[in-house]
Amino acid sequence: MASTNQSPFYKKAEEKFLNAKDDEERLFYLDEMIRECPKHKSSEAMLANLKTRRIKLVEKIERIKKSKKSSGKPGIKKADMQAVLIGFTNSGKSAILTKLTNAHPLISPYPFTTQTEEIGTMSYQGIQVQIIDQPSLKNENFDIGLINNTDLVLIVVTKISEIQEIQKYLQRTKAKQIIIFNKTDLLTSDEKRKIQASLQSKKYNFVMVSTMDNNEGINELKEKIISSFNFLRIYLKEPGKNPSNTPMILKPEATIADVAQKISKQLLASISEVHIWGPSSKFPNQRVGLLHKLKDKDIVEFKTR
Ligand SMILES: Nc1nc2c(ncn2[C@@H]2O[C@H](COP(=O)(O)OP(=O)(O)OP(=O)(O)O)[C@@H](O)[C@H]2O)c(=O)[nH]1
Ligand SMILES: [Mg+2]
């Protein structure tokens, strides 16, 4: 649509429209173009075109707003297993993210250091969990959508009283929860014991950690994160050898047949004997059938014909 015959005001608006930095700004200048577009017969088609563009643009803006609300930020693709950190400023969420994952967020003693999502991947015993750090509670960029749509919420506190305050934000999420009591290095052993007893008496699923002092509790935290996802880690073993270091991941209630099938179809057909060790066995090296139900951390040995 030629705009050569248009007024200088229209041209100015069009130029700004073309250089706009986002859709909101585009909409602003598009409205100005509509206002400046002559309202006579010869420019009827052009005005109609501008109005159609406006409708499309408004639709697009609405669509993006909606998708932000329903599934967190559009930039984050949710992994199969995801956890999101939540807590007040300076509780040490970003410091914890660096201990758990490969991410390098900014960490500082100043409040509200984190201004946007930071995504890391925790690799633990061959399993990957996506962990998201985000701006603290009371920061304007804190996104409750992330909390409402995740599998696991990691509640970071440095005082017991913070737990109840944070739980107000968790009313709409179905995610499991782990309370992380951070900065234990700042406590005397007496204070530590009292806090531990108090958290225990409230039956919280918690872990006490420090991101300083030789990483107290960090491995326990990783273990808790992994075991809050409901799946089985099964270690395979060849006769006469040690079990593998990396587990196979199976759905809860999986049987020996499921394990064999996951390895290969041929294996299932050629099994002569199966032995197991671990939580689902009555005793080590128990011989079991194909329909035996496994538990997390079982070790399985197949003998084939
Ligand atoms: N003593 C001690 N200090 C810690 C520990 N973990 C984090 N800190 C310090 O606490 C301060 C805040 O840590 P951050 O990880 O930036 O806190 P945050 O929760 O991400 O807070 P935001 O600024 O809102 O993003 C920093 O100075 C950290 O070095 C800890 O275990 N012990
Ligand atoms: Mg931070």
Per-residue pLDDT tens for 105-136?
999 998 899 988 999 999 987 788 999 999 99
Where do the domains of the chain lie? 8-71, 82-228, 232-304
* Per-residue model confidence (pLDDT) at position 218: 97
What homologous superfamily does CATH list for 232-304? Beta-grasp domain (3.10.20.30)
Q: When comparing pLDDT for 58 and 197, which is higher? A: 197
Lowest mean pLDDT among 16-20, 92-96, 153-157, 160-164: 16-20
Q: How far is the CA of 109 from the centre of ligand 1 (A)?
A: 6
- Here the contacts of 62-65 (C-beta below 8 Å, separation 24 or greater) are 64/23
Confidence band (pLDDT; 50, 70, 90) for 23?
confident
Those residues with Cβ within 8 angstroms of residue 238's Cβ, 6 or more apart along the chain or in another chain: 301
Nearest bound ligand to the CA of residue 136: 1
Residues within 5 Å of ion ligand 2 by Cβ?
94, 113-114
* Per-residue model confidence (pLDDT) at position 40: 84
* Per-residue model confidence (pLDDT) at position 125: 78
Those residues with Cβ within 8 angstroms of residue 253's Cβ, 6 or more apart along the chain or in another chain: 293
Q: How far is the CA of 225 from the centre of ligand 2 (A)?
A: 20
Give the C-alpha separation, 204 to 198, whole Å.
9
Topology (CATH level 3) of domain 82-228: Rossmann fold (3.40.50)
**Ramachandran region of residue 190, left (φ > 0), alpha (ψ -120 to 50) or beta?**
alpha
Question: Atom 6 in ligand 1: which residue has the minimum CA distance?
Answer: 92
| Residue 238 tokens, joined | 């060849």
Q: How far is the CA of 176 from the centre of ligand 1 (A)?
A: 24
Nearest bound ligand to the CA of residue 92: 1
* Per-residue model confidence (pLDDT) at position 2: 52
| Residue 97 contacts residue 133 (beta carbons within 8 Å) | yes
